[in-house]
């Protein structure tokens, strides 16, 4: 075919137009559209490029205008077809293949939920976070120094016996203070935190603790505590009482009352046990509170100056003459058992779905 005759030129472009329209008609996937694009407007091998190289550029000068006009019309057509195909989305056939059969049974997805112990810990953290406390953590495998000595339990002190400590085997070659054990309370994180930062401090310490206790309905050798520590200038016992009274009301409801009884912990002086009015009988007396109207829930006290003296070895600002503070510690399982009416602590660790599903 030659291009010098207008008739031939018309035929050639009519043929090309037919071809491009046919090719564009069946484009049902994005790959097909891309192939179409490469085939027609591809920079190196595209049909338009070939056409321009073979016909347009080599045409005699007097024929160039004619060819050029037809070429541009074809190019515009290709581009508009391409635009249409790219925006059109999948074909009817492709849609039908993916269609959803609403009569099929649905896929059941099980809802995950926070474990009641985690939930109770997070709730306590949130209550104290609102009072400006941040969260501190420490290791479960602890040294004798942090778990006992720096908490003012001297070596051989009888108070150590009350903690039923699980010790790591084969530690005899180490000095007593470096011997490893499973922490019996979260209190060692008090010291670890004070060594890291000068006062003021307001932290809550959630975590797992271990004691060599026989498992029964209310005891487990592994359980959880939330500890609190507040240190600043002029912190008083009133601050301690106000803080814990507020926290217990936030946790159990505003009608709950608190009362403080003298107690003993080596790391606080004075120390107290805190009782709350029975949440089951509103203080009237029932089986749950052994007819006393009160339930013992946590231990607390003013930080013992001897504890500050240990902290001052690393952070001199813990000078017991200049600062004061309070600490408290509570068992998470005990609180969760009361809140959710659980009578056997073992349920928390059983992994029984019938138990856990109730917390979704």
Tell me which stretch binds ligand PHE (CB under 6 A): 67-75, 131-139, 295-303, 306-314.
295-303
**Smaller CB separation from ligand PHE, 3 or 165:** 165
Own/partner contacts of 71-74, CB < 8 Å, gap of 24 or more, are 73/13, 74/13, 74/16, 74/17, 74/20, 74/48
Residue 301 interacts with ligand PHE (CB under 6 A): yes or no: yes
Q: How far is CA 197 from the centre of its chain?
A: 25
List 227, 247, 279, 308, residue binding ligand PHE (CB under 6 A): 227
Cβ at position 143, least distance to ligand PHE in Å? 16
78: exposed, middle or buried (C-beta count within 10 Å: 0-12, 13-18, 19+)? buried
**Smaller CB separation from ligand PHE, 268 or 275:** 268
Which pair of tokens denotes residue 85?
């195909």
**Smaller CB separation from ligand PHE, 195 or 269:** 269
- Kind of pairing between the strands at 180-182 and 258-265: unpaired
List 13, 36, 252, 265, residue binding ligand PHE (CB under 6 A): 265
* Residue of 239, 206, 209, 236 lying closest to 222 (CA atoms): 209
**Smaller CB separation from ligand PHE, 82 or 330:** 330
- Which phi and psi (to 5°) does residue 263 adopt? -145, -170
List 16, 202, 329, 334, residue binding ligand PHE (CB under 6 A): 329
Tell me which stretch binds ligand PHE (CB under 6 A): 55-63, 91-99, 239-247, 294-302.
294-302
List 3, 152, 268, 277, residue binding ligand PHE (CB under 6 A): 268
206: exposed, middle or buried (C-beta count within 10 Å: 0-12, 13-18, 19+)? buried
Cβ at position 243, least distance to ligand PHE in Å? 13
Cβ at position 199, least distance to ligand PHE in Å? 17
**Smaller CB separation from ligand PHE, 70 or 334:** 334
Residue 244 interacts with ligand PHE (CB under 6 A): yes or no: no
Residue 146 interacts with ligand PHE (CB under 6 A): yes or no: no
Residue 182 interacts with ligand PHE (CB under 6 A): yes or no: no
Tell me which stretch binds ligand PHE (CB under 6 A): 90-98, 125-133, 232-240, 321-329.
321-329
Residue 152 interacts with ligand PHE (CB under 6 A): yes or no: no
Tell me which stretch binds ligand PHE (CB under 6 A): 21-29, 153-161, 282-290, 322-330.
322-330
Residue 260 interacts with ligand PHE (CB under 6 A): yes or no: no
Q: Where are the beta strands (DSSP E) in the chain?
A: 134-135, 141-143, 180-182, 201-210, 222-232, 258-265, 268-277, 294-303, 324-331
Alpha carbon distance 304, 338 (integer Å): 31
Alpha carbon distance 214, 211 (integer Å): 9
List 36, 294, 310, 328, residue binding ligand PHE (CB under 6 A): 328
Residue 299 interacts with ligand PHE (CB under 6 A): yes or no: yes
CA of 235: how far to CAs of 240, 323, 325, in Å?
8, 8, 5
Residue 247 interacts with ligand PHE (CB under 6 A): yes or no: no
- Sorted by sequence, the CB contacts under 8 Å of residue 214 that are 6+ apart come out as 221
Residues that contact ligand PHE, how many (by CB under 6 A): 11
Alpha carbon distance 231, 200 (integer Å): 5
- Kind of pairing between the strands at 201-210 and 134-135: parallel
Cβ at position 105, least distance to ligand PHE in Å? 52
Which pair of tokens denotes residue 171?
């530690």
Question: Which residues in this chain contact ligand PHE in the complex, by CB under 6 A?
Answer: 185, 187, 227, 265, 268, 299-301, 327-329
């Amino acid at each position: 075919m030659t291009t010098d005759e207008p008739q031939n030129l018309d035929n050639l472009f009519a043929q090309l137009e037919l071809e491009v329209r046919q090719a564009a008609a069946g484009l049902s996937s994005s790959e097909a559209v891309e192939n179409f694009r490469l085939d027609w407007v591809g920079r190196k091998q595209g049909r338009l490029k070939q056409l321009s190289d073979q016909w347009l550029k080599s045409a005699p000068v007097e024929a160039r205008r004619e060819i050029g006009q037809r070429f541009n019309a074809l190019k515009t057509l290709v581009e508009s077809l391409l635009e249409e195909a790219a925006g059109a989305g999948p074909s009817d056939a492709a849609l039908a293949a993916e269609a959803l059969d609403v009569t099929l049974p649905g896929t059941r997805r099980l809802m995950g939920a926070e474990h009641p112990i985690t939930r109770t810990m997070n709730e306590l953290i949130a209550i104290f976070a609102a009072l400006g406390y941040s969260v501190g953590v420490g290791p479960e495998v602890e040294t004798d120094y942090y778990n006992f000595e720096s908490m003012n339990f001297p070596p051989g002190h009888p108070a150590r016996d009350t903690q039923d400590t699980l010790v790591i085997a084969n530690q005899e070659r180490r000095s007593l203070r470096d011997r490893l054990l499973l922490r019996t309370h979260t209190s060692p994180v008090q010291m670890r935190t004070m060594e890291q930062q000068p006062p003021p401090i307001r932290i809550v310490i959630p975590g797992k603790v271990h004691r060599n206790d026989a498992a029964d309905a209310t005891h487990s050798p592994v359980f959880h505590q939330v500890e609190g520590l507040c240190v600043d200038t002029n912190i008083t016992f009133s601050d301690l009482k106000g803080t814990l009274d507020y926290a217990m009301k936030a946790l159990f409801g505003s009608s709950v009352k608190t009362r403080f009884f003298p107690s003993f912990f080596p790391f606080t002086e004075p120390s107290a046990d805190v009782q709350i009015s029975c949440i089951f009988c509103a203080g009237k007396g029932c089986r749950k509170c052994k007819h006393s109207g009160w339930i013992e829930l946590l231990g607390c006290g003013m930080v013992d100056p001897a504890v500050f003296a240990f902290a001052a070895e690393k952070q001199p600002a813990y000078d017991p003459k200049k600062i004061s503070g309070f600490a408290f510690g509570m068992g998470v399982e005990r609180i969760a058992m009361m809140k959710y009416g659980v009578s056997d602590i073992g349920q928390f660790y059983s992994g029984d779905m019938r138990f856990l599903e109730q917390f979704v």
